Structure 1
């Protein structure tokens, strides 16, 4: 039977590729390796980018346990500690949510990191319960203002990121976020494959940002407010869930029930 250890080092060349996303690891870039030591006496190492490393399937009690940790630059040691402290996890169970109109109240007339409010008081408790049950929490959100506001693009970015950061601080659970910045159909441009209802953001998660862990579609689900009802602004959320094959809930059904 083989034994496993985890190592960290800076790549000596750009010849290694990440086992998680299959992309090259640049020379001098930080890489984490899973080393299998076989009884015959040789080692095999599977290298990963930091963001692609399967911490869920290769758990460690502390970052200091990683071979080579003490030799890393402080910024990289801090990045490893941050992942440990935040408890970020990849999982076969995904609880996914829209942001605006689902988790928070926002208005197109108000901008800024603080221009939002919690949609339901039960949200922090619900998200914590999901996290405790082993779910990976993910937000998929469209934000066309980042593309549309060509003269105020940084303001649109700061506003969106600020709201998301402040929300995650409030609910106090690790959440992975995907933002589609392109415009939709009818804008005179090619339809953005990452903008909901297109499934591009989900494919990114599935193929590159879940450490290669297959997602259990029977246990996973998606919550969003754009369900094609009379007062809804669109049907993007329900069609996004249908395109992926996920169970779908509207916010009042999931958080107010």
Structure 2
């Protein structure tokens, strides 16, 4: 038998089962037998087949520090908070909040197979199971049509163009109707089609449901305050799909918003169509944009801000708030201080540099002192005269200190709580946390905080503007850091005083 050697050689284009190479008929070594060479060529494994057979590694654990950030929302993940992650090809783990993680990969067959699941507390295991099932249901729904897939992947340009075409078609034909739907968000992954910001899990959202030319439903979700009822498809708010399943407070908020639009339609039908009036009536328009277009004070004061119980939180992002303190969008407010009475007369004040002497280099609840000795007596006198005392203050550190947000919240609220305790009178407080650079509607000099007070947190009592006033130190003078307080008073039609004049210094 001839001796043979077999070589296995990878070959990516084709498979050659065997190649026989025989020795020369006149071997140079006559004493040796001829040699047979067999070369077997095997196909080179493709990258796709290799990767598809390797399941995605999902890991669950409690964060070892507060230094990691969620790859979905970019917000910090608190120390000891439950986080989920997947490893990339380099072995780097991409961490997510529980509510931000997507189980779209079919490699996760069961939640019990997630690495670290058994080490979690029972309550977190249950929460993880709920999110797992919810994500699977949503991903299953996405696969039903390519249109739904584009909507959930955020292909807004295509959806907007398609939606406009459907709306135009629906106006001229009844074959492509639209309807409005109300529900509480099933996750935190949807985004508002008006402001592009995320819609929080469990938050009330409104959607305009249209059908594309192929008959598939397409829903554009909005925050309550961002939704426009301008479409003739809403005959009555009670007819909105899902309305009856909402909380009574949210039903009322929805009705109020619809009423505002109805007023606008009536005003337009009476011929009041000047551009300034139209901008005021469009309640879903950003307050900042309205203010910058030069509306008169009286017109600005009529602007409505959507404010419902479901939008009020006990936390500001990842920072926990003390009792009685609440968060709404980018403001924190003291909801109801003991003994506080709503009134038609409002005495409003700035805090830092007006009521309290503070220093940006010092942090802590006790890092303040009275700006003027007469402040306690003056505030008590106003309270006894039937005034409602209110503080409007900006605090950018709460937004900027992402890794130390809790410390910034504790410092600011701690100072305000201690101030109220020292003056011994109840005060309502609003803190604007938005950044100094941007279009936040609540940060002074924007009028957003005043509107929340006037429209939603004064028991419906009409404010007497002749008796109400605002005191602040940022008046645009040579040594002032800005003119935000002066402009805030002007935007809301309030009489304005600087603190040294008002407190008799």
TM norm structure 2: 0.35
Instruction: Please give the residue correspondences for 1:1-257 in structure 2 after superposition, counting only pairs within 5 Å.
Output: 15-17=247-249, 22=253, 86-185=338-437, 190-257=438-505
Instruction: Report the CA distance between 1:151 and its aligned residue.
Output: 1.2
Q: Give the Cα separation in 2 of the matches to 1:106 and 1:193.
A: 25
Using the TM superposition, give the Cα deviation of residue 88 of structure 1 relative to its aligned residue in structure 2, in angstroms: 1.1
Q: 1:23 to 1:93 in 2, by over 3 A?
A: farther
CA distance in 2, matches of 1:86, 1:17: 24
Q: Secondary structure of the residue that 1:207 maps to in structure 2?
A: helix
Unmatched 5+ stretches in structure 2 = 1-244, 256-308, 310-335
Partner Cα distance (1:250, 1:135) in 2: 19
Deviation at 1:87, TM superposition (A): 1.8
Q: Distance in 2 between the 1:141 and 1:228 partners?
A: 17
Secondary structure at the residue paired with 1:137?
A: strand
The Cα offsets for residues 37-92 of structure 1, whole Å up to 9 and x where unpaired, read as xxxxxxxxxxxx8xxxxxxxxxxxxxxxxxxxxxxxxxxxxxxxxx7x93210000
Structure 1 residue 15: deviation in Å? 4.9
Secondary structure in 1 matching 2:340 = coil
Following TM superposition, by how much is the alpha carbon of 1:22 offset from its aligned partner in structure 2, in angstroms?
Answer: 3.6
TM-score by length of 1: 0.67
Q: 3-state SS of the aligned residue for 1:248?
A: strand
The Cα shift of 1:16 comes to: 2.8
CA distance in 2, matches of 1:23, 1:122: 45
How far apart are residue 115 of structure 1 and its match?
0.3
SS at match of 1:182: coil
Structure 1 outlier segments of 4+, above 4 Å: none
Structure 1: gaps spanning 5 or more residues: 1-12, 25-48, 50-82
Q: For residues 165-192 of structure 1, what are the alpha-carbon distances to aligned partners after superposition, in whole Å with 9 as ceiling and x for unaligned?
A: 000000000000000001123xxxx321
CA distance in 2, matches of 1:130, 1:244: 21
- Which of 1 and 2 has greater Rg? 2
Q: Once the two structures are superposed, what CA deviation does each residue of 1:141-162 show, in whole Å capped at 9, x if it has no partner?
A: 0000001111111100000000
Q: Secondary structure at the match of 1:161?
A: helix
In structure 1, how many angstroms separate the alpha carbons of the residues matched to 2:430 and 2:254? 19
Q: Deviations over 1:18-50 (max 9, x none)?
A: 89x8479xxxxxxxxxxxxxxxxxxxxxxxx8x
Distance 1:243 1:136 in 2: 20
Secondary structure of 1:95 counterpart: strand
**SS at structure 1 position matched to 2:249:** coil
SS in 2 for 1:194: coil
